[in-house]
Chains A and B, each alone.
Chain A
Amino acid sequence: MENSIVKLRGYKDGLHLIIKPKVALSEVETAVNELLDGMNPPLSGTSIHIDLTTSPLTSEDMKELETHLTENYNLVVSGVNLLDENEESPILAAPATHSIAPNIQADDQTEFGQAKIVRHTIRSGQTTSCLTGSIIIYGDVNPGGEVVASGDIIVLGTLRGNAHAGAHGKLSSVIIAMELVPLQLQIGTYVNRPPLGQKPRGYPEIARVGAEDVIIVEEFIKF
């Protein structure tokens, strides 16, 4: 895997497709097909960045690759990063040094499948998930209950259980609840929990991945 032509990595701003330098377009496409076809559940409807160092890929080649990803895999290419050959590749760089401001702009353009609306409380032992987008819950999520979404999670009640947003690695996903006193929060691969004995604060809160690669929670005023 480490020496393969393309790699998929999750960063704070979402998924990155990293292309090995000095490989021809046909080889890149074959490698992309191999990588994406082997994924279960399939990666679809999400946005990705393409990272490439100096390579023989021309801008026409890039266009073709983008079209290929969009048409065959329903992926949206939200940016192309051209990296200097001498610069450390983002794979080697520790994620913490990979500085990305909370980037909402890119997501505004991203249609994210359909949101799932749940019209009841998620009780202990119950799970609800939406792997094609966001979830909105008209009720509470009680301790022992679990919500998983590939997009955002919005709870119009009290979140007391577990919530996992950005389940496919979209780190710009957020969790919003009228009262946020969860057992555990997860965004992408980051997990956090509130301090023991946390009391409801009485106002809506939002959880997101902050600059230090930790999930931060703050009062939700506006997006």
Chain B
Amino acid sequence: MGKVIVITSGKGGVGKTTSTANLGTALAMIGKTVVIIDADVGLRNLDVVMGLESRVVYTSMDVIEKRCELEKALVKDRRVEDLFLLAASQRNRKDDIKPEQMLEICERLKEIYDFVLIDSPAGIEQGFHNAAAGADEAIIVTTPDVSAIRDADRIIGLLQNLDIEQITLVLNRLSPTLVKKGNMISKNDVLDILNIDLLGIVPEDPDVIASTNRGVPLVHNNGSPGAEAYMRIARRMIGQRIPIPEMRDDNFFSNILQWFSRNK
């Protein structure tokens, strides 16, 4: 029996879709069977980020309206074994799907696959409720700015109302240089307010935009800081104990100073 995890944030543009694509790919790369579901009906783009746009034939709407079998609607990834995408319909609206229908799809998929990751739309309306309907756990993605944190806090409250107890946090786009200068909210400030377990930190990484545009998830790009961060998060998701590294400054000199102070 697998796990259904909704990836959500409240606010848009904080990296839900990027995180879903990368965590799904990373989990499949370490040998798990994974389905990623785009729950953003009407504004789908998980298929684009995955580079599978041209292969989508059927969507979750076709499954719900019994135009095709669930297995047939799953699009196999181009690069990794055991990774599948269930795309969202672009023609429909978010309220065309009911939470019970999403729940049924999730229940069926988690019988077969290890992980079912759901990319939630922004907002707190029907789209969010559909995305969260079948979830056993939730991953909140937030960036270190006040509006994203405020929305994340709201979403955590809503998830708790839905009896989703296991809620973890991915702090995206943290820039160590800015935190050091005091221009960015630090990790500890975010955790202080949200008061949930930290699953991982993804540093600001210019490679993300390039990889999104190419339709190749960042984790294929070995060695980039973002890719490493997502791989570590995926390993934590399968229960490995991997410490969250303290962010180093980009600045060469302060790195050296840090190195000295560590060796005292």
A94 to chain B, nearest CB (A): 39
CB distance from B63 to the nearest CB of A (A): 33
Q: Are B157 and A125 in contact (CB under 8 A)?
A: yes
Task: List the A side residues contacting B160 at CB < 8 Å.
Answer: 120
- Report whether over half of chain B's contact residues are helix, strand or loop; otherwise say mixed: helix
Do the beta carbons of A125 and B195 come within 8 Å of each other?
no
Task: Answer yes or no: B236 CB below 8 A from chain A CBs.
Answer: no
A125 contact set on B, CB distance < 8 A: 154, 157-158
Cβ of A140: which chain B residues have Cβ within 8 Å of it? 193, 195
Residues of B within 8 A of A120 (CB): 160
Looking at the assembled complex, report how far the CB atom of A142 sits from the nearest CB atom of chain B, in whole angstroms. Answer: 5
Query: Is A160 on the interface with B (CB-CB < 8 A)?
Result: yes
Q: Is B153 an interface residue (CB 8 A)?
A: yes
| A124 to B156 alpha-carbon distance, docked (Å) | 9
Contacts of A144 in B (CB 8 A): 150, 153-154
Closest to A160 in B: B193
Which residues on the B side are within 8 Å of A143 (C-beta)?
150, 153, 193
Asked if A20 is an interface residue, CB under 8 A from chain B, the answer is: no
Cα A101 to Cα B151 in complex, Å, equals 42
Q: What residues on A are CB-neighbors of B150 within 8 Å?
A: 124, 143-144
Minimum Cβ distance to chain B for residue A34 (Å):
42
- Nearest CB in chain B to that of A125: its residue: B154
**A interface, over-half SS:** loop
The count of residues in chain B whose C-beta lies closer than 8 Å to any C-beta of chain A is 11
Which residues of B in the span 127-163 have a Cβ within 8 Å of any Cβ on A?
150-151, 153-154, 156-158, 160
- With a CB–CB cut-off of 8 A, which chain A residues contact B153? 123-124, 142-144
Q: Is A114 an interface residue when CB atoms closer than 8 A count as contact?
A: no
User: Is A124 touching B195 in the complex (CB atoms < 8 A)?
Assistant: no
Instruction: State whether the Cβ of A121 lies closer than 8 Å to any Cβ in chain B.
Output: yes
Q: Closest residue of chain B to A121, judged by CB? A: B195
Residue from the set B151, B153, B154, B193 with the largest chain A CB neighbour count within 10 Å? B153
Residues of A within 8 Å of B195, CB to CB, are: 121, 140
A126 adjacent to chain B (CB < 8 Å): yes
Distance, CA A205 to CA B202, complexed state (A):
36
How long is the Cα–Cα vector from A34 to B198 in the complex, in angstroms? 58
B151, B157, B192, B193: the one within 8 Å of A126 (CB): B157
Distance to closest chain B CB from A181 (angstroms) = 11
Chain B residue with the shortest CB-CB distance to A122: B157
User: B-facing mask of A115-148, CB < 8 A → 1, else 0?
Assistant: 0000011011110000000000000101110000
A123: shortest Cβ distance to chain B, in Å?
A: 4
Q: Name the distance in Å between B182's Cβ and chain A's nearest Cβ.
A: 12
Task: State the CA gap A160–B154 with chains docked (Å).
Answer: 14
B 181-198 binary contact with A (CB < 8 Å = 1; else 0) = 000000000001101000
CA distance A158 to B193 in the complex (A): 9
Residue of A nearest to B192 (CB): A158
Q: Mark B214-239, 1 if CB is under 8 A from A, else 0.
A: 00000000000000000000000000
The residue on B at minimum CB distance from A139 is B195
Name the B residues within 8 Å of A124 (CB-CB).
Answer: 150-151, 153-154, 157
Contacts of A126 in B (CB 8 A): 157
Hey, which chain A residues are within 8 Å of B156, CB to CB?
A: 123
Chain B residues within an 8 Å CB radius of A123: 153-154, 156-157
Q: How far is the CB of B197 from chain A (nearest CB, A)?
A: 14
Nearest Cβ on chain A to B7's Cβ, whole angstroms? 19
Q: Which residue of B lies closest to A200 (CB)?
A: B192
Residue ID in chain A nearest B124 by CB atoms: A125
Distance (whole angstroms) from the CB of B234 to the closest CB of chain A? 28
CB distance from B129 to the nearest CB of A (A): 15
Bound Cα distance A74, B160 (Å): 38
Which residues of chain A come closer than 8 Å to B154, judged between CB atoms?
123-125, 144
Closest partner residue, chain B, to A179 (CB atom) = B192
CA–CA, A134 and B114, complex, Å: 48
Instruction: Give the residues from 68 to 127 in chain A that come closer than 8 angstroms, CB to CB, to chain B.
Output: 120-121, 123-126
Can you identify 23 A-B contacts, CB atoms within 8 angstroms?
A: A120-B160, A121-B195, A123-B153, A123-B154, A123-B157, A124-B150, A124-B151, A124-B153, A124-B154, A124-B157, A125-B154, A125-B157, A125-B158, A126-B157, A142-B153, A142-B193, A143-B150, A143-B193, A144-B150, A144-B153, A144-B154, A158-B192, A160-B193
A124-B157, A142-B193 given; 12 more Cβ-contact pairs under 8 Å: A120-B160, A121-B195, A123-B156, A124-B150, A124-B151, A124-B154, A125-B154, A125-B158, A126-B157, A140-B193, A143-B153, A144-B153
